[in-house]
Amino acid sequence: MSSLTHQPPKRSASVQPLWLRITHWLNAVAVLIMVMSGWRIYNASPIFDFTFPNSITLGGWLGGALQWHFAGMWLFVLNGLAYLLLNLVTGRFGRRMLPVSPRGILRDAWLALTARLSHADLGHYNQVQRAAYLFAVVDLIFLVLSGLVIWKSVQFPLLRELLGGYDMARRIHFYCMSAIVCFVAVHLLMVVLVPRSLLAMLLGRATFRRTDKESTS
């Protein structure tokens, strides 16, 4: 006589901890606010011979854009510090982001281009991902530092000089903004290609695994 025993769905092992998911999405919101309000601020005093369409900016006018920008800035700085500290304290930064080397980046990039790079284990970052995330961290740090010079140039004279002056700080701020927008665009493309990664960042797990256990008697 045989019987079939059905067990309830079993969740797969956690890929992303709760604190990481919370700080990740708060960072995403903060960056979105800062970029869109920053475009409106840029339009008030363009560096280059173009402006951004008002329809994709935030704030409605310069004063409103500045208020949004500062709100996003404080959210990003406080949440970003929490993100970095938790990554360092838990040891996640060393486990996920290191090691990284030019040879490893080129190898994994070639595997990705030839569709041979495995995405089976979402808890493991290949070296292209590691390099991209490390670049994003450095880029965001320079974004904050250049923003401080633009905001409080008189209060940060040494930082202003290290960045090449006020005008150069504005350019650095713009270039860093452009770099993070490109990073986000590529990041979203990767989510489209590997949709399980979005589920992992939302739920902490890439899938729901159901197991059916058979037994005979």
**Residue 17: cis peptide before it, omega within 30 degrees of 0:** no
Q: What is the pTM of this model?
A: 0.83
Q: How confident is the model at residue 159 (pLDDT cuts 50, 70, 90)?
A: very high
So what's the pLDDT on residue 114? 85
Could you give the C-alpha distances from 43 to 33, 40, 56, 140, 167, in angstroms and in order?
Answer: 16, 5, 12, 21, 16
Please tell me the distance from the alpha carbon of residue 125 to that of residue 142, in angstroms, as a whole number.
24
Is 94 a residue whose pLDDT tops 70? yes
* Beta-bridge partner residues of 213: 5
